[in-house]
Structure formats: C-alpha cells, structure tokens
Amino acid sequence: MTELRLRPARTSDVPAIKDLVAPLARAGVLINKDTVAYYEGIQEFLVVEAVGDEQTGLIGCGALHVMWEDLGEVRTLATSDAWRGRGVGRTLLAGLIERARAVGVSRVFCLTFEVDFFSRYGFEVMPNQNQVDPDVFAELLRSHDEGVAEYLDLARVKPNTLGNTRMLLELSPED
C-alpha cells in the first residue's frame, strides 16, 4: 500500500521540484523559474512523497505566497504525470489552505487552467473588476511580484497569462 505524505519542502527538494515543474512550464501551464527562485521561496512550498509499495519520492509540490494581510496565492501546484488523478493535488491544496489559515490569510487566489479542479474545492472565478481597497491597491502596485500583478489584473501581465483563469477562495472561519 502506498501512502501520500505531505511535508514542508527542504532545500534538497529543489531539483525534484524543478523536474515536476519542467514539463508544465514547457507546455505553458506553469511559469519557468530560475533555480535561485526555488531556493529563495522554499519556505513557501509543501511537497508530497509517495511512500510504500509504489514509486518512492517527490510526486507533487505547491506553494502558498502571502500577498497581503488577508490574501495569499497558491502557486506552482504540480503533480507527476504518473500520479495525476490519485489525490496528490487535493492533498497539496488542502495543506496549502491549512497553511493559509494558520498564517491568518482569509482569501486564497490562484491563476490556473485547471478551473474544474479548483472549483471542486470552493474556488470561484474572479470578476474582472478588482475588489481591493484603493489604499491596498496602491500598496500592492509597489510589489515587483508578478503574482500580485496577476491578481490585480494589470494590463502588463495579460499577454503572459495565456488564457489562465483568476480564481478566489474565501476561507470561512474555523470553529
């Protein structure tokens, strides 16, 4: 029996994370990043390992990037081709949402081609109009992070999205 084990990523996972992302980046589904970007952001990542009878090793990764006091972004959600449809993405997303709650984020954003997947977990397509307080919008404009620009739906990033859908999950307070 094979178990899916979710854990925080370690620096030693960076080569495997790059290997998971590479085919999706070549297909234009995920953004290709320099190795240094993975090391700089390693604390944002969770990974899933397959432990047991089947393949052992990293089979999925995903990151939560905090953008503002109440807003985070799910990034770089990737699963090995051989493990798609077997709960890896669900495990990662649940872990990232739990992490969002733990750090005080109440809204989680994603930019995705996988609308059906994220919809199953409560994400909704965002309206074209930003619903951000003008003062917060002005602060977010100072960010150099492309994910923030995607969230704000700035014209400069539209050519780079390749038709991705902006989605948002409003987290309900836990009891």
Task: Check if the beta carbon of residue 93 is closer than 8 Å to that of residue 121.
Answer: yes
Phi-psi region of 21 (alpha: psi -120 to 50; beta: other; left: phi over 0): alpha
The pLDDT, as a whole number, for residue 31 is 84
Give me the sheet containing 124-125, strands edge to edge.
Answer: 2-8, 45-52, 57-68, 71-79, 107-112, 165-170, 124-125
The pLDDT, as a whole number, for residue 128 is 66
H or E segment to which residue 63 belongs: strand 57-68
Task: Check if the beta carbon of residue 13 is closer than 8 Å to that of residue 62.
Answer: no
Q: β-strand 124-125 against 107-112: which pairing, if any? A: unpaired
Ordered DSSP codes for 22-54: HHHHHTTSS----HHHHHHTGGGEEEEEEEESS
In order along its 175 residues, the chain shows pLDDT tens digits of 778 999 999 999 999 999 999 999 998 888 888 999 999 999 999 999 988 866 678 999 999 999 888 889 999 999 999 999 999 999 999 999 999 999 999 999 898 889 999 999 999 998 765 665 666 656 666 666 666 556 655 554 544 445 678 888 999 876 4
The pLDDT, as a whole number, for residue 159 is 47
The pLDDT, as a whole number, for residue 162 is 53
H or E segment to which residue 57 belongs: strand 57-68
